[in-house]
Structure 1
Amino acid sequence: MRIKKFVAESVQQALENIKVELGPDAIILSIQEITAAKGGRKKRPRVEVTAAVDEEVRTSVGQPAKRTVAYSETPASPSNSTGENGILKLQRELTDLRQQLTQIAQLKNHLRIPTEFLETYLTLLNQGVNEEVAQDFVRRLQSQKQVDGQPGNSFIRRQVLEELQQIIVTAESPWQVQETPYVIAMIGPTGVGKTTTIAKLAAADKVFHNRKVGLISTDTYRIAAVEQLQTFANIAQLPLKVVYTAEEMQFALFELREMDRVYIDTPGRSQRNEEGLKELQVFLQRAHPHETHLVLSLTTKEIDLHDIVKRFSVIPINRILFTKLDETTNYGTILSLIKHFKQPVSYLTFGQNVPEDIRKADTSFIARLILGMECI
């Protein structure tokens, strides 16, 4: 197995160099941006691509390539180095090579991405899109390219955003409704920002849209939660009803029947707390919300997010709302969850300021976030 690093002005240029020197069967191990000084004044970005090729890969003239020893289990003797520092350097290099070879073993069985799609694929991975979804997306691009018969680079630049926007599904609350009050419930784990999100939406409804807004809190397990919402309700001059039992929910809604919109705050629940989820389900059955948003923090690991959505689905969810976008730079999980659970995204939040730090989800913005073309 031969491993080599290539430095170039762009990923595409590096990939072309790899193809010339290592051949089309080369496997990409990593891509990272580096900064090189030029003339001692200005720095310009470059890319460093680490690639590998199997020792038995044929050369361009059809002969087996020369075998290259990837690493030796025994470090070079001190006589061939500059003393102890040289030995330590060799040992670090051996460790790096072992890690790279482990990556090869993991990647070579499934990473067969065409060169012209590799940059898109790696961008998706770096943004947190899981491998299966990223590969499926690249296959979709490749298939569309074959149908259109257009050149790779120009096609990709034009089509990647469009293809992502076709996959991403968003949902908005209707501007006008026949039935009032229009009831919106927020559910999700503890600490994801349900109460703050309700404050943002309720404030926007009143200040910007001149709607009559009411609030209901069922989060009676934490004193601070009711106090937080009560403080906001007092400042915004909004009616707040605190509900302790499912039976009280219908009465609270009756008292708020003159409102245009009613937001229901619920206690945070662990997705593994089955009894807590059943209790929450009973409360919401009495409320009959028009919208039930599952509120998720993007700082949560993807495997846990999948588990949360799966277990919370015992409740009729019809929207997903993502919070804490300002605390992460990986937005690819949004795409993975949309692909897997087929739920539309309603809002994105990115801070504590009320009502500013929230925006309606739109396909173009989310696609650009996932591709690293937008930032929060």
Structure 2
Amino acid sequence: MFVRLLSLIVLVSVGAVAGAQQARAADAAFEQWLQGVWPQARAMGVSRATFDKAVAGLAPDLTLPDLAIPGKPEKVPQQPEFVQTPSQYLREATFDRLAARGKQLSAQYRDTLARIEREIGVPGNVVLAIWARETDYGGYKLPHDAIRVLATQAYIGKRKDFFRNEFLHALKMLQDGTPRADLRSSWGGAMGLTQFLPSEYYKYAVDFDGDGRADIWRSVPDALASAAKQLAGKGWQRGERWAYEVKAPANGDCTMGTPETTMPIGEWVKRGYLLLPPRKLTAEALAMPASLLQPEGSYGPSFLTPKNYFVLKEYNYSDLYVLFVGHLSDRIAGGGAFMTPWSKAEQMRTSDVETMQQRLTALGLYKDKIDGKAGMLTRAALGAYQKRNGLKVDCWPTADVLAHMRR
């Protein structure tokens, strides 16, 4: 018994030593990587003192999602935009609460919002809705140190080059006087009231309150104007809507729901896609090109999505995110609930949607990334598969369709 206990102690000790050695090796590799970033940081104007202070004692945060760690299973980001159904994500109670607060803030910042729309071209209710979605009007406190997050993602993330650039810009922010305490971020490194990546901060941040600093952390005018400037920089069309809810005709083809399939809104209306609520559009609006969006396939609401929809999608590449922000902006402006209710459709597991995407790719029906997300292109490809195989065409991933593919 004593011998076995002694052997166990020895094994545990050896394991602990080995683990410590592996940790030191990993730290050494990370430190070497950090020093390899220094020449680029210096080229961007970062001093050695700023750099050394920023990385002193820095260790990668291996609990973050979207990392590529050898020998470890991938931790997929559990963003609600990609794992919840529309009915779960787009809750009426949430819209009621945020719209009520948004109306209060719209009155409080009336002059600022009017100036933003006048000078930048983006309506105040739109930037308020972004603020609401990103940080609950500042009530949500971002949990991570941006320097550590961006260094980790640049070192061992799945998009190293992208995050290396963001890490360098974050170091530049420190050099330019942003306190380290302000650099709190999401797991992806976005910061401030309206969630800016460091490179976007340098492109679009605005000193809108005139105090000499573009403060997206505490200045509401600066944060909202910066969000507006980013939308304008990505192509926002002044005076145009983000989307129109429509009722699809009984003979509508959900496989047309791709960004590349566009027609003037007037043509969609002629084909039976009726505006909800009914309204008379100007000739300019009727001539505007738009795509068809059906987030639940042939179930739930349908939308015609012009240019501004896709500009909002540049802020966050999720249809549910854009629907949330767009619809909340309408509610802040006095609009009502969606005219068509969301269905109770279930969201398939990411791995099952990936299997579908792989099969659709092999059949030549799908040519986008394998990511387990049932976005526009996946739904359209699924509808094409259903057509080809004589199945009910609803462009929605289900266990029955997956079973058919496996057979």
In the superposition, the TM-score normalised over structure 1's length comes to 0.26
| Structure that is richer in strand per residue | 1
Select the structure of larger CA radius of gyration. Answer: 1
| Structure that is richer in helix per residue | 2
In the superposition, the TM-score normalised over structure 2's length comes to 0.25
